[in-house]
Structure 1
Amino acid sequence: MSQPASYDDLPPQTSTVERVVTVLLMLGLAVLLLIASFLGLFFAMASDGCVGDVRCNGAQIGAGIVVASGSPWVVYVVALVVVVVRWVRRKRTWWVPLAALVVGALLWVVGGLIAASAVG
C-alpha cells in the first residue's frame, strides 16, 4: 500500500499576490468586525419603545444584541481557520474573507431584526 502524499510534495497553486490580497482582505474584515460588533450594541435602543402599554420581551432584545455583536467574531474566527487550512493545502483563499463579509452582514441584520421584533 502506498503512503499518502504530504502537502509538502504538492506544487504551489497560489501566488504571492493572492496571499497578500487575502491578508489585506482579512485585515479589512477585522476592522469591519470591530465596527459591526460595536454597532450591534446599539440594538439595545430597541427597548426605548417599551413605554406605557407597549409590551416588550427583554430576553429577545438581549438575544438580538448577542447575535448582532457576537456573530462577527464567530464568522471572523471561522474565516481565519478556513484561510489557514486552505493555505496549508495550497488552495485559493481570496474568496474566503468576501464570503465571511456576506455571512457576517446577514447575521448582523438577523440580530437587529430579532431585537426589533421584541418590541410591540
Structure 2
Amino acid sequence: MTQPASYVDQPRDPRPTDRVVTVLLLIALIVLAPAAGFMGLLTAMATDSCGSGNDCNEGLVATGVFTSAASPIVVALVALVWVVVRWRRGRTTWWVPLVAALVAAGTWWIGALITFGAVGW
C-alpha cells in the first residue's frame, strides 16, 4: 500500500539532538573558519626566500594565498546556507558542518600547496 503524495511532501521533524549538535558544530565552524583564513594569509610568508636568487611565480603565490585565506570562510558560509535550507525542509543537518570542515581544510591545503609550489619548496 502506498502513501498519498501529500504524505511524502510533508517535512519530517528531526530529533532535538540533531538540532543541538548542528548548532554546536556550526558555532565551531564559524569560529574556526576566520582563524583558518588568517592562517591562510600567513602562507604568504613563504615568499621570504624570493628575490635572493630564487625565482618565484608571484601570480601563483597570490592565487595560493587567496585560495587558502578565502576558501574556509566561503565554505563555512555555504554550509550555513545549506544547513538553513535542510533545516527548513525538516532534514537532518548534523553532518553538514562536519563535511564543510573537511572541505575547508582540503581547500586550505590546496591553496597552501599552490603557494609553496610557486615559491619552489
TM-score, normalised via structure 2 length: 0.88
Aligned-CA RMSD value:
1.8
Q: 2:118 is matched by which residue type in structure 1? A: A
Out of 101-110 and 73-82, give the one that drifted further: 73-82
Q: How many percent identity over aligned positions?
A: 47
Q: CA deviation at 1:97?
A: 0.1
Matches within 5 A, 1:57-96: 57-96=57-96
Runs of 4+ residues deviating >6 angstroms: none
Matches within 5 A, 1:36-115: 36-115=36-115
Write the distance in 1 (CA, Å) between the matches of 2:53 and 2:11. 68
Write the distance in 2 (CA, Å) between the matches of 1:59 and 1:72. 21
Q: Which runs of 5 or more residues in structure 2 are unaligned?
A: none
Q: Which runs of 5 or more residues in structure 1 are unaligned?
A: none
After superposition, the Cα gap between the structure-2 partners of 1:16 and 1:56, relative to the gap in structure 1 and judged at 3 Å, is same
**Cα displacement string for residues 25-61 of structure 1 (whole angstroms, at most 9, x for unaligned residues):** 0000011102101111111111111132210011111
| Matched pairs, number | 116
**Cα displacement string for residues 43-82 of structure 1 (whole angstroms, at most 9, x for unaligned residues):** 1111111132210011111111110010011101110111
Write the distance in 1 (CA, Å) between the matches of 2:57 and 2:15. 52
Tell me which residue corresponds to 1:116.
116
Write the distance in 1 (CA, Å) between the matches of 2:37 and 2:11. 40
